[in-house]
Structure 1
């Protein structure tokens, strides 16, 4: 029975480390910033492995490319060279209260099958919309596919 008082976040016990992580897929139209957003989240929360930024910056310099946060996720050299996500990448991420699996899905129409593969493993989704272009073809398609896959918690 409710006691009628507010419970603060510090009173809630952290999720058990044995509990499965909440898997969130980042989807949306090509070049709307999915990989960049995830890279920034991992960087700004201190969740990257030691030396990862330096490693990517060094690889970029060797290829004569400017560093981008999206490169933290684009594991394939081909992805970095083309500045495009081809395959899905799942990154474990943890806060003080919960474990997550962040899934970066490609936005290109040609890699829709890979997006579906990533989204099929997700509990929730972040539909990223570029402020400069707004809702585009792949934005709509990804939203529709999320609903078809039963991913109903979408931000």
Structure 2
């Protein structure tokens, strides 16, 4: 491969925006380098922002629990009211746990705040739901892909 001069600012930008997923990080850099190579445009932070806007969530874009609940209930074809209810059918429980997991991952809200948004649930319920989904993600690649796609859809808005 040819020697590429990627400005430190562009690398910092990508690393800051995709801090925890190495595959996404590699993909973003590959996409940026490929675009730069084909268009003969010099690599820069503004080019990175433009090219990676579909991968990187918008700056300061706050994600709400409402958005998460809507995306998850649309995916599982249930009503938001079901998430907030006391229903314990398998499909509702899974959707609720997924929405709670994503709420912990994609927002800075406290366990108590998340619990309130899910029908006044206790913080221990939130921890339990989070742990259940985290374990399922670690055991099931197909399920991890579903969660990654839901997360991406939520971050895109």
Q: Same fold (TM over 0.5)?
A: no
Bigger strand fraction: 1
Q: TM-score of the superposition, structure 2-length normalised?
A: 0.30
Bigger helix fraction: 2
Q: TM-score of the superposition, structure 1-length normalised?
A: 0.30
